[in-house]
Chains A and B, each alone.
Chain A
Amino acid sequence: MFLHLLKMIWNRKRSNSLIIAELAIAFIVVFALSVLAIRNYNLYQIPLGYNYENMWRIQIMPTRSWDETKDEDTLLQIIGAVKQQPEVEKIHLLSNPTFRNWRGTSSVTIDGQEIYYYRNRFDDKAAETFGMTLNDGRWFGPQDSNQNYSPVLVNQEFVDMYYPNESVIGKNIADPEIEDNREMRIVGVYQAFRQFGEFSAIVPYVFTRSDIQKPGRMLGIEVKLKPNADDSFEQRVLEILKSLAPENNYSIASWESQRDRQIRETTIPLTIFSIIASFLIIMVAMGLFGVLWQNVTSRTHEIGLRRALGATALSIHKQIIGELAIVTMIGVSIAFLILVQLPMLGVFQELDWSLFWISLLASLVFMLTLAGLCGYYPGKIATNYSPSEALHYE
């Protein structure tokens, strides 16, 4: 049966080749759409690792470069002034803000292994206020002050990626190639801190310590407000800061508003792409339907002959759908040969094998369903021909 159908497709290879090309391209579009949808859905399901409710960031935008001696004092004054506001519950330091793409990365080679990570800096109590979860070791604390090492916290992904089967507490991740480099000692492992928001990839992430009494270069303050704070807080703080240090500009934004903005920035292009892709797929579906319909009409005598020789309506229907399924599979296989290059050559870092196979399966099911739906009605017409009517032509 299968070989027979294949032979018939081969006999009509001219007209089938264009349909196959169309199906192959359509499959690539469906695949792209499912990769994006599945990846973003999966990422959205993973917890952020912190709470953003009632958190605000005061961003300091200096008009000149950081001055070691003067600006630390200014920053301490700013912190002191903000702390006195009645709405403020807690105040912390965080170098790279949440829900923005400000990043610092480092790459070091330790024992022949390249370790690449994102880094950030916060103060001792920040993790607690942010609602982060500790998996191993401890948070930063006063015992880390005036030591001959710099303490660091790493996320679970860092451990899973670089030291999957050992305890990392006490390890030194300073760059061994730089002489006299201070030891960077891992003191704790936390679950996650997804700085770049819900749709970002899980990356190895390292926190270094900032002492709130001696913060160094910090261009932002994180404030936890009591739930009833309003716009007047913002206005008051901006005025105080501007008179404290007029050489800087300031902006205040809640984490939540940044999060909304980031989600919008991610979903708008995705939505536009999905709408266009859906139209393309509807177009292909209708095109297939039209071509099949015409195909069945022009093969009236062939079908009539089969009916006259005793073929049932069901077997005719099976033939039409079977042929279409095979044509679809050929198109999908061609698309597969192209698509499989992507994870093989590592074109997109985000596209790993598991995502590839899941998306491929989802797209395959979708395409076959689509082909089935497109073939159903033309197949039905074919079964309606009575042999005498169908053979009438000759």
Chain B
Amino acid sequence: MFSNYIITAWNVFLRRKFFTFINLFGISITLTVLMVVSTIADGYFYPTGPEKNIDNIRVINRLVLTNDEHSHTNSSRLGYKFIKDNISRLQAPELISINSGTQMTAIFNQGRKSKLLVKKTDNVFWQVLDFSFVDGRPFTQNEFESGQFVAVINQRTQKELFGEESAIGKNVSFDNQNFNIIGVVDNVSAVEETALSDIWVPYTTNATSGYQQETMGRWDAILYHSDPEILEQANQEYIHMLKNDVILETPEKLTEAYSGAYTKLESLSREMFYEEYSYDTHEQMFISVMIGLVLLFMLLPSINMINLNVSRIMERASEIGVRKSFGASTKQLLMQFIVESILLTLIGGVIGILLSIFIINSIEASGIIPYAMFSFNFRIFVVGLFLVLIFGLVSGVYPAYKMSRLNPVTALKGGF
């Protein structure tokens, strides 16, 4: 019976090629847009590079300081002193890494200029993030503490500065300092903001120690624990500390601190629904808004599909009339037309997936998102399949319902 439906559906698609084309066009374009967006989102929330142990880390990269009346407020990344005075006291995390935000730096190599990102970190950074080393090694605790001029670079930097040769043992100079290269890692995709850089050096090599006195600045802290559950406790502990015994020394006598050890989702939703004096990140609201936007985007194609399907089914009024007079039940007819719609959306879905792969590859090649490597995986496939089914059902149910209520007599006459 089921295969009969599919054969009938196939023949109908072939008979009205134009309608089939319009339907497929709509479905595949809509799905392509949604799939491309979800692939990028997937790459962001489930990184495959150094941040692949994303569940084991939380990042603190935003601090709001204010006084009691909120008349004077500072908001930026953390200062080194704030991290040392407060975050270092946290008990829950196993490891805490301190690192600076990246700095675009001009590097001159035989008169040729390269603009590269430099990040200053500690040695713990290499333990909390899971970098894959192509060559060499990260810097050790000893090298970090004694402030040795060593650097880890990514493959792009190696290629740009030394061509095809290995960079290990060679030097890279910037800001009037000369660093010995001890490690080469894979390029880090720009969606992995915490790990991202081109060159990593120990921050103990800084020319001056002025940074150690700053409460606000350009530093991040990464908390690590092998058990994700405990990280949530670490966040609670941090917020508790900010509320009760935060140590602040600012010339403006600021007393209140707002910050948090966030997951990627929390950071993103906090940026979107920014509330200065709050520890809340609103991720529920963020998810609802995103779902709302997707539904809104699907509304127009869905209505379009419903219109087309109504037309497609009404055209077959006489077929339905015949089937009804020979005793087909409403349920059977409903089934048949829903199978038809789902079959059509499935074909559209396949085209959509192929198109998305093409577009994702072009995005990777174009370099709009530096070093981006997105991969299709099971999660995205499930999302795609789910969207296809939703689409098929939404656009198939109403027309099928309308058709199943046709009066056989009028249907046989060909009118309605």
* Known contacts A61-B103, A247-B207, A249-B175; A286 and B300 CB within 8 A of each other: no
Nearest CB in chain B: distance from A235 CB, A: 4
**Interface hit among A15-23, A188-196, A348-356:** A15-23
Taking chain A's interface residues, is the majority helix, strand, or loop, or is none over half, making it mixed?
helix
Contact with A along B377-416 (1 / 0, CB 8 A): 0000000000000000000000000000000000000111
- B18 contacts chain A at the CB level, 8 A cutoff: yes
Whether A283 and B301, one on each chain, are in contact in the complex, defined by CB atoms closer than 8 angstroms, is yes
List chain A residues, Cβ under 8 A from B300. 22, 25-26, 29, 280, 283-284
- B376 contacts chain A at the CB level, 8 A cutoff: no
* Known contacts A247-B208, A252-B106; A294 and B311 CB within 8 A of each other: yes
* Known contacts A246-B176, A287-B308, A295-B311; A231 and B108 CB within 8 A of each other: yes
Nearest CB in chain A: distance from B402 CB, A: 8
- A171 contacts chain B at the CB level, 8 A cutoff: no
**Interface hit among B3-11, B19-27, B178-186, B233-241:** B19-27
List chain A residues, Cβ under 8 A from B232. none
- A276 contacts chain B at the CB level, 8 A cutoff: yes
- Give the most central of B30, B306, B311, B315: most A CB within 10 Å: B311
Cα of A293 to Cα of B16 in the assembled complex, Å: 12
- B327 contacts chain A at the CB level, 8 A cutoff: no
Contact with B along A9-41 (1 / 0, CB 8 A): 000000100110110011001000000000000
Whether B29 and A22, one on each chain, are in contact in the complex, defined by CB atoms closer than 8 angstroms, is no
* Known contacts A242-B176, A284-B304; A294 and B26 CB within 8 A of each other: no
Nearest CB in chain B: distance from A352 CB, A: 25
Interface residues on A, range: 35 or more
- B206 contacts chain A at the CB level, 8 A cutoff: yes
Closest to A287 in B: B304
Nearest CB in chain A: distance from B190 CB, A: 14
- B135 contacts chain A at the CB level, 8 A cutoff: no
Whether B304 and A283, one on each chain, are in contact in the complex, defined by CB atoms closer than 8 angstroms, is yes
Whether B207 and A246, one on each chain, are in contact in the complex, defined by CB atoms closer than 8 angstroms, is yes
Interface residues on B, range: 35 or more
List chain A residues, Cβ under 8 A from B25. 282-283, 286
Whether B106 and A234, one on each chain, are in contact in the complex, defined by CB atoms closer than 8 angstroms, is yes
- A305 contacts chain B at the CB level, 8 A cutoff: no
* Known contacts A283-B25, A287-B26; A25 and B299 CB within 8 A of each other: yes
Whether B176 and A247, one on each chain, are in contact in the complex, defined by CB atoms closer than 8 angstroms, is no
- A339 contacts chain B at the CB level, 8 A cutoff: no
- A163 contacts chain B at the CB level, 8 A cutoff: no
- B307 contacts chain A at the CB level, 8 A cutoff: yes
Whether B307 and A64, one on each chain, are in contact in the complex, defined by CB atoms closer than 8 angstroms, is no
Nearest CB in chain B: distance from A240 CB, A: 10
Cα of A76 to Cα of B270 in the assembled complex, Å: 41
Cα of A235 to Cα of B115 in the assembled complex, Å: 12
- B350 contacts chain A at the CB level, 8 A cutoff: no
Nearest CB in chain B: distance from A238 CB, A: 6
List chain B residues, Cβ under 8 A from A239. 176
Q: B302-331: which have CB < 8 Å to A? A: 303-308, 310-312, 314-315
Contact with A along B127-149 (1 / 0, CB 8 A): 00000000000000000000000
Whether B308 and A251, one on each chain, are in contact in the complex, defined by CB atoms closer than 8 angstroms, is no
- A232 contacts chain B at the CB level, 8 A cutoff: yes
Whether B304 and A238, one on each chain, are in contact in the complex, defined by CB atoms closer than 8 angstroms, is no
Q: A29-B300, A283-B30, A286-B25 known; 11 other A-B pairs, CB under 8 Å?
A: A18-B310, A63-B211, A64-B211, A234-B113, A246-B176, A246-B208, A247-B207, A290-B18, A290-B19, A290-B308, A393-B414
Give 11 pairs: A residue, B residue, CB < 8 Å, sorted on A. Answer: A18-B303, A25-B299, A235-B106, A235-B108, A276-B33, A283-B301, A287-B26, A287-B308, A291-B311, A294-B312, A298-B314
Q: Which residues of A are at the interface with B, using a C-beta cutoff of 8 A?
A: 15, 18-19, 21-22, 25-26, 29, 61, 63-65, 231-232, 234-235, 238-239, 242-243, 246-247, 249, 251-252, 268, 276, 279-280, 282-284, 286-287, 289-291, 293-295, 297-298, 301, 393
Q: Which residues of B are at the interface with A, using a C-beta cutoff of 8 A?
A: 18-19, 21-22, 25-26, 29-30, 33, 103-106, 108, 111-113, 175-176, 206-208, 210-211, 213-214, 217, 299-301, 303-308, 310-312, 314-315, 368, 414-416
